[in-house]
Amino acid sequence: MTTTTSTTTSAAPASAPAVGVKRDPIAVALRSALLIGLVALTVFFTVQNNLFLTAGNLKNIALSGAVLLVVAVPQALLVIMGVVDLSVGSVIGLSGVVTGLLIVDHGVAWQVAVLIGIALGALAGLGNGLLVSFTRLSPIIVTLGTLQLYRGISQFLRSNPPANFGKGMNLLGRGLYLGIPVPVWIAVVVFVIGAVVLYATPSGRYVYAIGVNKEAAFLSGVATRALPLVAYAATGAAAGIGGVLLAAQLDSAPPGTLGVGFELNVLTAVLLGGVAFSGGRGTMFGVLLGVAFLGVLNNGMTLMNVPYYAQAMATGAALIIGAGLDELSQHSQLIRAIGRRR
């Protein structure tokens, strides 16, 4: 009992860097840069196209960003803990395809098919978590492998896309509630849950502690295996929700393309939002900003008829910039720490 108390005390400062970042003027400036960039993009696209700030187009931006936010919230928790799930795009595809074929090929009620699709996503995420938490394998290698595995399963189950899912799925994908698309409401719920977990529960503090110093967190009694495992399952479930929503929006679930490349968009939003890839730092508000930035960027370029390859280049550049800002922020903290010691 005495040992537990002393290790808890010694590990307490391990979470201090996550708090200290908020007082770092350079880190604050980097987070503010994203908001400034978002405002600048909005002004630029508004000047270039008078349709950009219309209610209909803003609804389109929110709708396109809803699935990204749903998956980015639990992904951010993983990255803060120092791990990552690169298979979410394929999980989206697998969940969407299974949901679609259950409805079309087997006559399953759409509500039941949706629940099965989400549960399948959670199971896929749980598989990732078991491999990462209970082996010495790299999370990047594991989830790159399952990215290919889950995509292959999707194509094995259905060579051609299931389609025409019916009115219920159509309402789920594009229906409105109080004038706001249903997927946006779902994204709001997921965001609120993620924020509550991160800021208002002990698990949130443990997430930061694992990312800052996993060994110290373990010695303090934190479940350093169980918590990432739960987060992986949650990320899989979120990807399952994303797959269901995308299939509902398209009224189709192409096995070879549904969710392809989505993992890069999620990672870009998370890194742009200030979540440190090395773990230990990040906020849900930053993730929301990252999602909004990508949504505005992609929508504005589409309105300007920018070719798809140029949009892909812009998204890739945003990912590199996000990683660069993360590195710059860590470098500034290191310099400040050295200065304090002197």
Residue 206 Cα distances to 35, 78, 174, 181, angstroms: 28, 12, 37, 34
Say if residue 2's pLDDT is above 70: no
Q: Quick check: 319 and 313 in contact, CB under 8 A?
A: no
Burial of 233 (0-12, 13-18, 19+ CB in 10 A): buried
- In what helix (H) or strand (E) does residue 328 lie, and over which residues does it extend? helix 308-341
Q: How confident is the model at residue 30 (pLDDT cuts 50, 70, 90)?
A: low
Kindly indicate the confidence band of residue 315, based on its pLDDT and cuts at 50, 70 and 90.
confident
Least confident of 160-164, 193-197, 334-338: 334-338
The pLDDT assigned to 187 comes to 98
> Tens digit of pLDDT for each residue in 245-255?
999 999 999 99
| Cβ atoms 258, 247 nearer than 8 A | yes
> Does the pLDDT of residue 320 top 50, yes or no?
yes
Average pLDDT, integer, range 281-310 = 92
**Backbone dihedral region of 160: left (phi > 0), alpha (psi from -120 to 50 degrees) or beta?**
beta
Least confident window among 250-259, 273-282, 316-325:
316-325
C-alpha span between 93 and 149 (Å, rounded):
12
Question: Helices (DSSP H) in 81-212: which residue ranges?
Answer: 88-106, 110-133, 139-157, 167-174, 182-200, 202-212
Note the pLDDT of residue 15: 38
What pLDDT digit, counting tens, does each position of 232-244 carry? 999 999 999 999 9
Give per-residue pLDDT as tens, 321-333. 877 776 776 666 6
* Coil vs helix vs strand at 135: coil
Residue 225, classified by CB atoms within 10 Å of its CB into exposed (0-12), middle (13-18) or buried (19+), is middle
Residue 24's pLDDT is 53
pLDDT at 96: 97
* Mean pLDDT, rounded, for 193-202: 96
Question: Contacts for 20-24 with beta carbons within 8 Å, 24 or more apart?
Answer: 20/333, 21/281, 21/329, 21/333, 24/329, 24/332, 24/333, 24/336
Mean pLDDT of 304-319: 88
Q: What is the pLDDT of residue 27?
A: 55
Tell me whether residue 32 is exposed, middle or buried, using C-beta atoms within 10 angstroms of its C-beta: 0 to 12, 13 to 18, 19 or more: exposed
Residue type, 152: G
Task: Encode pLDDT of 119-151 as tens digits.
Answer: 999 999 999 999 998 888 999 999 999 999 999
Contacts of 328 (CB under 8 A, 6+ apart): 26, 30
96 in helix, strand or coil?
helix
Q: What is the mean pLDDT of residues 188-213?
A: 96
Q: Is the pLDDT of residue 14 over 60?
A: no
More confident residue, 308 or 89: 89
Model confidence band, residue 99 (pLDDT cutoffs 50, 70, 90) = very high
Tell me the mean pLDDT in the region 198-213. Answer: 95
Place of tokens 């040992």: 3
- The pLDDT assigned to 336 comes to 59
Question: What's CA 224's distance to the chain center, in Å?
Answer: 21
Say whether pLDDT at 18 is over 50.
Answer: no
The DSSP bridge pattern shows strands 176-177 and 180-181 to be: antiparallel
Single pTM value for the model: 0.88
Half-sphere exposure in the Cβ direction for 33 (13 Å, CA): 17
- pLDDT tens for 40-58 read 999 999 999 999 999 999 9
For 204-216, give the DSSP string: HHHHHHHHH-HHH
